[in-house]
Chain A
Amino acid sequence: MPEPVKPDWMQIVRHHLAGARSCRQEIVAELAAHLEEVYEESRASNICDPEAMRITLEQVDDWQALAMEIACAKSQEDSMDHQSMNQRTKSFWLPTIAVLFGVGLLLLFLDHAAIPQRLIWIACMGLLLGAAGSEANRMNLRTSSLWLPGFVSLTAASLLMFAEEIVLTHDPSFYFTDISLRPGHLISGLPRWFYIGWLLGQVLCGGMGAFLSRRGGGTPAARVVAGAFPALVMFLLCGLVIPVSALFEHNTTALSHPSRLALGILIWAAVPAGALLLGAAPFLRESTPQAA
C-alpha cells in the first residue's frame, strides 16, 4: 500500500491563521513544526493516517482564539521591535544607503559618470538587501514572501542589464534601454544578442524570486508576483511613469509616438514577463515536505 502524502503543515497553519496579525513567518514555522511532530509521533505509533490527522488537528480547537492570544502575547514585543531597530541597521546599513543614495542623485543631477551612477544604484540595492537580512527576524509574512523575493529578482535583473551594458559595450554612455526607442536596433546584430542574453537571464531571475518566495512561505500567487516583479516594475515605468512625466514636461516627441511606448512595454515588460514566469514555474508547486 502506498505511503500517504505527508501534509504540508506550513500551509495548514498559514491557512488557519490567514489574516491574523500574528501570522509572522517565524510563528507559522514554529507551530507547523509542532504539528508535524505530533502527527509523526502518532504515525510512529502505528496510528492510521486519518486518525493521526485528527489527533494532530485536535491540538487547536479554535484557531481564531489562538491567533488572538498569540497576537496579544506578541503585540508589545512587536512594538518594541519596531522601536528598537537592529543596531547594525541603525549604525551601518541605513547611513551607508543614505550616503550612496545622495551621491547617486547628485551624479544623476549632473548627468554624467554613467558607470559610477549604475554602480551606486546597484550598491544601494545590495545594501537594502543587507539591511533586510539584518532585520529578517522582524519581517512579517508579506515582506518575507513577496517584497523581499521580488526585490531580489528586480536587483538580479537590473544587475544583469547593467553588467551587459558595461562589460559588453565598453561604452559608458550606452543605455541598453535605448534600443526600445530605436526598434530597428533590436533586430540588428549586437543589441539583438544582448536582448536575447538578457531574456535568458530573466528565466533565472524569475526562478530566484519564486524560489525565495516559496522558502519564505509565499502562496503560489505571491510566488508569481515575486518572480515577475522586474516586469511589473518595467510595466509601471513604461506604461505610467514615462507617459505621466512626458505629459508634465510637455514632451511632444514622446506623446506623439505612443507606438514607441507600446513597443517599450512589449520589449521591457511583456516579453520579459514570459521569461520570468518560465523561470518561476517550477517553484509554483508546493515544496515536498521534509523527510523524517
Chain B
Amino acid sequence: MTKRISSKIARGSGELAILSLLAEEPLYGFEIARQIGERTDGALQFTLASLYPLLYEMEKRGWVEGHWQNNHAGRDRRYYRLTTAGRKQLPPLRAQWRSFFQALDSLAGVSHA
C-alpha cells in the first residue's frame, strides 16, 4: 500500500482531487472521500473534518453546487456536481500542480526518491 500523505499536503491537493472526481460524475461527501482513498491506494485520505470545509468553500466560489437527492440505498444525501466555473478551473489547476512537481523535482529530486 502507498504510504499515506500527511494531512497538510493532502488538503492542499484537495481542490484538484475533488474537481477531478466531480468532473466524472456527481458524488456525495462520503463517496468523494471514499473514492479519493481508493483511487490513490490510501495515500490521500479525507475525513469529515478535512472534506466538508473544503467542499463548502468550493461551493461558495461557485465551482461546485450541492443538491439533496436519494442515493442508491434510498437515503437523502447531498450530491455535488461540477459547475461550468468549476470545470474551467481544472486545466489551470492541473497546470499549476504540474509546475509545482517539476519545481520540487528539480530542487529536491523527488521523482527519484
**Contact between B47 and A60, CB atoms less than 8 A apart:** yes
Which segment, of B54-62, B84-92, B101-109, faces chain A? Answer: B54-62
Assuming the A-B contacts A59-B47, A73-B57, A73-B60, are A31 and B75 also in contact, with contact meaning beta carbons closer than 8 angstroms in the complex? no
Closest Cβ of chain B to A14, distance in Å, is: 15
A114 at the interface (CB under 8 A from B): no
B48 on interface, CB distance cutoff 8 Å: yes
The answer to whether B75 touches A62 (Cβ under 8 A) is no
Per the bound structure, the CA–CA distance linking A111 and B14 in Å amounts to 65
Interface residue count for A (Cβ, 8 Å)?
A: 26
Interface size on B, residues (CB 8 A): 20
Closest to B47 in A: A59
Say whether A70 contacts B53, CB under 8 Å. Answer: yes
Is A58 an interface residue when CB atoms closer than 8 A count as contact?
yes
Name B7-28 residues within 8 Å CB distance of A: 28
When each residue 30-72 of chain A gets 1 if its CB lies under 8 Å from chain B and 0 otherwise, what string results? 1101110110000000000000000000111110011001101
- From 70 to 87 in chain B, residues with beta carbon under 8 angstroms from any chain A beta carbon are 73, 75-78
Residue from the list B52, B60, B73, B76 in contact with A31, Cβ < 8 A: B52
B49 and A66 contact, CB distance less than 8 A: yes
Contact yes or no, B60 A37, CB < 8 A:
no
Assuming the contacts A60-B47, A77-B60, asked whether A30 and B75 have C-beta atoms less than 8 A apart, the reply is no
Is the CB–CB distance between A33 and B49 below 8 Å? Answer: no
List residues of chain A with CB within 8 A of the CB of B60: 73-74, 76-77
Answer whether A60 and B53 are a contact pair too, CB < 8 Å, given A34-B30, A37-B30: no
B29 is an interface residue with CB less than 8 A from chain A: yes
A76 / chain B contacts, CB cutoff of 8 Å: 60
Expressed in whole angstroms, the Cα–Cα distance for A249 and B54 within the complex equals 60
Shortest CB-to-CB span from A289 to chain B, Å, is 11
| Residue from the list B29, B33, B48, B73 in contact with A60, Cβ < 8 A | B48
A59 lies within 8 A of B48 (CB): yes
Cα distance, A35 to B57, chains bound together (Å): 20
The docked-state distance in angstroms from the alpha carbon of A77 to that of B56 is 9
Among A30, A35, A58, A65, find the residue whose CB has the most chain B CB atoms closer than 10 A: A30
Q: Choose among B47, B49, B78 the residue that contacts A30 (Cβ–Cβ < 8 A).
A: B78
Task: Given A33-B77, A72-B53, A77-B60, output 16 extra A-B contacts at Cβ < 8 Å.
Answer: A27-B52, A29-B78, A30-B78, A33-B29, A33-B30, A33-B76, A33-B78, A34-B51, A34-B52, A35-B48, A61-B49, A73-B56, A74-B56, A74-B60, A77-B56, A77-B59
